[in-house]
Amino acid sequence: MGLQKMMMTKIRLIIVMGLKQTLVDKYITTGLFKPDENGLFSLAACNKAYLEHKRKLDIQQVITAQSQLTFERIGFTKVRRQQNEIILAKAREEVIETDLVIKQASFLFVACRQKLLTIPTTIARKLLHQTDIKKIVDILTIEIHKALKELADFEKKVVDPDFQPEEK
């Protein structure tokens, strides 16, 4: 009996093709395996449909693998470019190391704290005999503005010790 005429039940198809029942059921519901009006399956038609389906899956896997490889290459190239940019920036002295930034920030915060803590002792004598609220507010405002102005230029003083602020 030729392969063209071989008709069989679903159970026989599962055994002959060596597939799991759930997979054959899936192929039947998706229309890959089509029974005839008696509920029998053509081995030739099912085999042809199955091989075509597997070939399409293999092609998709190759395309997916190639695109995945391309994405990985792009990522690797991006990382390498960023590393080269960092190396060039270091050579041009455009990059500051993290430890130095942390030390400078800590120094600025300590200096700011110290400056703010000295304001009360600086203005205590000026306020000692003042009774006029407006005069007290003016003295406080002037001293706070002095401290803020000094702190505003402080980052430049840290980088350039000879820095002289512009008088306005």
- Report pLDDT digits (tens) over 9-65: 888 888 888 889 999 999 999 988 999 888 898 888 888 999 999 888 888 888 888
Coil, strand or helix: which one is 82? helix
* Average pLDDT over every residue of 59-73: 84
Q: How confident is the model at residue 159 (pLDDT cuts 50, 70, 90)?
A: low
126, pLDDT greater than 90: no
> Phi and psi dihedrals of 58, rounded to 5?
-65, -40
- What is the CB neighbour count within 10 angstroms for residue 123? 18
Token pair of 20, please?
Answer: 């799991």
Question: Is residue 72 in a domain?
Answer: no
Question: Is residue 83 in a domain?
Answer: no
Q: How confident is the model at residue 78 (pLDDT cuts 50, 70, 90)?
A: very high
If one counts the domains in the chain, the total is: 1
Provide the residue range defining the domain that includes 102.
98-159
Question: Is residue 128 in a domain?
Answer: yes
Q: Tell which wins on pLDDT, 82 or 151.
A: 82
d(CA 27, CA 112): 74
Q: How confident is the model at residue 77 (pLDDT cuts 50, 70, 90)?
A: very high
Q: What is the DSSP letter of 41?
A: E
110, pLDDT greater than 90: no
d(CA 1, CA 64): 41
Buried b (16+ CB within 10 A) or exposed e, 6-29: bbbebeebbeebebeeeebeebbe
